[in-house]
Structure 1
Amino acid sequence: MQATQTQSGEWRGRFPYNEIISLLDVNRTFNLAESTSQDLTVGELLDLAGLEPVRNLKLGYSQSAGAAALRDAIADTCNVPVAQIVTTQGTALGLFLLAYELCRPGDEAVLATPCFPPSRDCLVGAGATVREVRLSFENGYRLDLAQFEASLSPNTRLVSIASPQNPGGVQASRAEIDGLLALMARRCPDAILFIDETYREATFGDAAVAASFAGVDARIVTGSSVSKALGAPGLRTGWLTVADAGLRARLLVAKLNTVISGSVLDETLAATLLRNRERVLAPRRRLLADALDVVSGWCEGERGRVEWVRPDAGALCCVRLRADAFDEQAVARFWHVLPEYDLQLASGTWFGESSRVFRLGFGYLPLERLSPALSALSRAMDAAVA
């Protein structure tokens, strides 16, 4: 997709352009770029809901905070009172509304990177001055509290992280969150901590699901959606948990003035999906566990050429081309030859990482196509250094 530019080639959009938008337009045979699990079908969802409730649904406006049935289901998922739930069209819109409402000219948002590009760009679009805390591959993308302390200031209004992270799949511990909140109490006591929990329930096999950080502290706002773990990004249904009643009221007014309300059809189907989430998640978690084993085996077999950060959850991980195996020219050739092998990867540059790093999505392809895709990836690496 071509970016709209001026004659001088300068990008003039209010939101920064990011090549991740290409994922909406290209879907190659060996798509290792996508970070969702396999797409749920409408038929599968209607089997859970039954046709009659949908047939009789009136297509008026939804409630401002979201459909009651959906908010009830979200409250159960997050273990918070239903009054704290505000639905949004995806997690990214929730973060944008939060930033737009909290940040005025001169206010700062502190963001942990690498991150999902809209998590950064919606802050820019909302007018916040963004200060990035760059987490390192070498440290397994763990939260670096010393860097956060150096980045927080009295001008900080919003701190944004993800757990599990996108692109790395690394979760924050309760101790890390407590430490970050303590830093905020000293440096920016009125700031909000936003935690994107979109991949929280995308665990592997029988691994325990981490508890939501919703309700841990009144300064925490969490966001999530039905897009990733549940495989329904097309429903465009997400939510925020907001403990502070005043902030919640402001967000509802912001929502009214941007999208008015959610789609009653999408929210009805999303509520059904959440009420039946264990029936949907259980087989997906088994598939993710099997797929992670395949990826782990491939990384071990290619350990002379790549290194990786093993994810805690999510259908994604970060892999890096080793500097002793790929010089800068070989890295450039690697990206150039991928289409020849019908391969798709998500470049680390999209997320604020180097071009040596790529996000490898292992939940989107059927399991029987994952190994062939990784074999094609090995052949692409061969060609890059030939």
Structure 2
Amino acid sequence: MKALQKNFDERQGSDVDVSNSSDWRGRFPYNEIISLLDVNRPFNLAESTSQDLTVGELLDLPGLENIRDLKLGYGKSAGAVALREAIADACKVPVEQIITTQGTALGLFLLAFEVCRPGDEAVLVTPCFPPSRDSLLGAGVSVSEVNLSFENGYRLDLDQLDAKLSPKTKLVSIASPQNPSGVQTSRAEIEKLLVLMEKKSPEALLFIDETYREATYGDNAALESFAGFASRIVTGASVSKALGAPGLRTGWLTVADPGLRSRLLIAKMNTVISGSVLDETLAAVLLRNKEGVLGPRRRLLAGALEELSAWCESEKKRIEWVRPDAGALCCVRLRSDAFDYDAVSRFWNLLPDHDLQLASGTWFGENSRVFRLGFGYLPPARLGPALAALSSAMDAATV
């Protein structure tokens, strides 16, 4: 953390300690997940994406033969037409319902900023990707959390949701598959949630983050997008996770209501103006060729998941896990009968000594016994050694 803090302060030209929330004066809360942008240890089990796509792999895809002729002017307000058409095909909605954004988190921020006014509330299902919470707070929204449990496999708790909904609720935010757990929400559960919202929060929209939807395993097909499932549903996704291109910073929203789309375009204009024409051109070609890219990645994820499953079985006296439905990520928990409070603290302090990186559950709204383990980021030959190093760190923490 000290090294991260030094780097952050040098970039900012400030001696403010951002790890101390009382000194952090921004509208967005500080979250340690920012360390993933600056630290990358040899055994990085913290990342939730599959392996990074290279520029060379992308340029080898058909459709980029004339990329050198691309003019670097401003992009379209709603996004490049070719990109929006590719997204519309994937989501099975009309192209006019697509708005591109610089990642899914920006889409949620703009949505919250436009939909919610002072006194309004958003209901957020947690644990969640930190920007999913912090973008709401940054937009000035009052957030009411529904905390899903490890014991229940992070399945959607409709009773808790029902208790949180009110006429003040203007936005409900969930992810499927979830980050950090990789657990999916079924269409039947979404149908029941929509009924609850109609009764208790008739003006609320339902935002569903589908960023990991296509990161399935082996020959398993991705669930159909919830885009177009109901007019009050807004979905968000990106090329970051399943396709391994977070550096393109290209995501999107699907928005059925034309009035809301117009307001979001104005909000986009006043924050980022438009997307990068280069990023959006590359993302469009990537989506048009996605099956050829996803196939090998899904096979790698399937093999990695089975290797992880075997490791979890071998370590079942010390850890528990929730097997994911999709995505290159899952939640693992240090057993309370194997790790007391001090051992948990030692475990986290020892990770750098073992060249290990994990994503703490505290980042997502869980406790420090839980961590997100990313099993798709490392090359296959390094996953086994990384898991062995994790076992060694647990050994050292419980001596």
> Do both share a fold (TM > 0.5)?
yes
Q: Is the 8 A contact 2:184 2:325 kept in 1?
A: yes
Whole-angstrom CA distance in 2 between matches of 1:13 and 1:330:
34
Aligned-pair CA distance for 1:106: 1.2
Structure 1: where are the runs of 5+ without partners? none
Q: Is the 8 A contact 2:58 2:286 kept in 1?
A: yes
From 197, 203, 228, the counterpart of 2:216: 203
Whole-angstrom CA distance in 2 between matches of 1:106 and 1:189:
16
Whole-angstrom CA distance in 2 between matches of 1:275 and 1:126:
34
Are 1:340 and 2:353 matched, yes or no?
A: yes
Indicate the residue corresponding to 2:95 in structure 1.
Answer: 82
Structure 2: which amino acid aligns with 1:152? L
Aligned-pair CA distance for 1:379: 0.3
Q: Equivalent residue of 1:269, what SS?
A: helix
Indicate the residue corresponding to 2:311 in structure 1.
Answer: 298
Indicate the residue corresponding to 1:69 in structure 2.
Answer: 82
Whole-angstrom CA distance in 2 between matches of 1:298 and 1:8:
37
State the number of aligned residues: 386
Q: Is the 8 A contact 1:218 1:244 kept in 2?
A: yes
Q: Is the 8 A contact 2:63 2:285 kept in 1?
A: no
Are 1:54 and 2:54 matched, yes or no?
A: no
Indicate the residue corresponding to 1:99 in structure 2.
Answer: 112
Structure 2: where are the runs of 5+ without partners? 9-15
Change (3 A) 1:324 1:267: same
The one-character-per-residue Cα deviations of 1:17-52 (angstroms, maximum 9, x if unpaired) are 000000000000000000000000011101114554
Indicate the residue corresponding to 2:281 in structure 1.
Answer: 268
Q: Is the 8 A contact 2:21 2:29 kept in 1?
A: no
Structure 2: which amino acid aligns with 1:302? E
Whole-angstrom CA distance in 1 between matches of 2:63 and 2:95:
25
Whole-angstrom CA distance in 1 between matches of 2:17 and 2:164:
33
Indicate the residue corresponding to 1:189 in structure 2.
Answer: 202
Indicate the residue corresponding to 1:42 in structure 2.
Answer: 55
Indicate the residue corresponding to 1:250 in structure 2.
Answer: 263
From 133, 139, 156, the counterpart of 1:120: 133
Indicate the residue corresponding to 1:366 in structure 2.
Answer: 379
Are 1:153 and 2:153 matched, yes or no?
A: no
Percent identity for Structure 1 against Structure 2: 77
Q: Which moved more, 1:46-55 or 1:284-293?
A: 46-55
Q: Is the 8 A contact 1:5 1:12 kept in 2?
A: no
Indicate the residue corresponding to 2:11 in structure 1.
Answer: none
CA RMSD of aligned residues (A): 1.2
Whole-angstrom CA distance in 2 between matches of 1:8 and 1:169:
29
Indicate the residue corresponding to 1:312 in structure 2.
Answer: 325
Whole-angstrom CA distance in 1 between matches of 2:110 and 2:96:
18
Whole-angstrom CA distance in 2 between matches of 1:92 and 1:297:
34
Indicate the residue corresponding to 2:183 in structure 1.
Answer: 170
Task: Report the TM-score, using the length of structure 1 for normalisation.
Answer: 0.98
Indicate the residue corresponding to 1:385 in structure 2.
Answer: 398
Whole-angstrom CA distance in 1 between matches of 2:220 and 2:292:
16
Change (3 A) 1:264 1:8: closer
Q: Equivalent residue of 1:48, what SS?
A: coil
Whole-angstrom CA distance in 2 between matches of 1:133 and 1:343:
31
Q: Is the 8 A contact 2:33 2:130 kept in 1?
A: yes
The one-character-per-residue Cα deviations of 1:303-328 (angstroms, maximum 9, x if unpaired) are 00000000000000000000000001
Aligned-pair CA distance for 1:8: 9.8
Moved over 4 A (4+): 5-9
Change (3 A) 1:177 1:50: closer
From 228, 252, 259, the counterpart of 1:215: 228
Q: Is the 8 A contact 1:49 1:269 kept in 2?
A: no
Aligned-pair CA distance for 1:186: 0.5
Whole-angstrom CA distance in 1 between matches of 2:368 and 2:55:
37
Aligned-pair CA distance for 1:198: 0.1
Structure 2: which amino acid aligns with 1:30? F
Whole-angstrom CA distance in 2 between matches of 1:201 and 1:174:
16
Aligned-pair CA distance for 1:380: 0.1
From 113, 122, 147, the counterpart of 1:109: 122
